[in-house]
Amino acid sequence: MELMDKAIEAKKNSYSPYSHFKVGAALLTKDGKIFTGCNIESVSHTPTCCAERTAFFKAISEGYKEFEAIAVSGDTEYCYPCGVCRQVMSEFCDKDFKIYVGDKEYTLDELLPYSFDLEK
């Protein structure tokens, strides 16, 4: 699958000198453009940014706000998006947004059934 191949490729750019755990992500917009991201660590940990959020923030900063799917590739067979990344996804994606992890496919609603929402 092209999206997962792009995530695997993005993983090569990871800056992870502290955890030594590389992660890459490839985000597909609804109009077919792909944005990649990798995890970028900081020695003070808090400013560290996951691959998924890097991809989202790149896309959003270029004016894209409608997304179809994301593929995530880590140093383990199944590298799931963290809670912070899932919450960011819920800000910009429908509940049926596809998340590919290894050879598995999930929807955002399956991985984050009770997202934080100020209107609820």
Residues marked active site are found at 52
One-character DSSP codes across 67-117: EEEEEEEESSS--PPPHHHHHHHHHHS-TT-EEEETTEEEEHHHH-TT---
CB-based contact 28:70 (threshold 8 Å): yes
Q: Which helix (H) or strand (E) holds 33?
A: none
Residue in this structure with the two tokens 């929402």, named with its chain if needed: 117
Residue 86 φ then ψ, to 5° = -60, -40
Helices (H) and strands (E) in the chain, counts: 4, 5
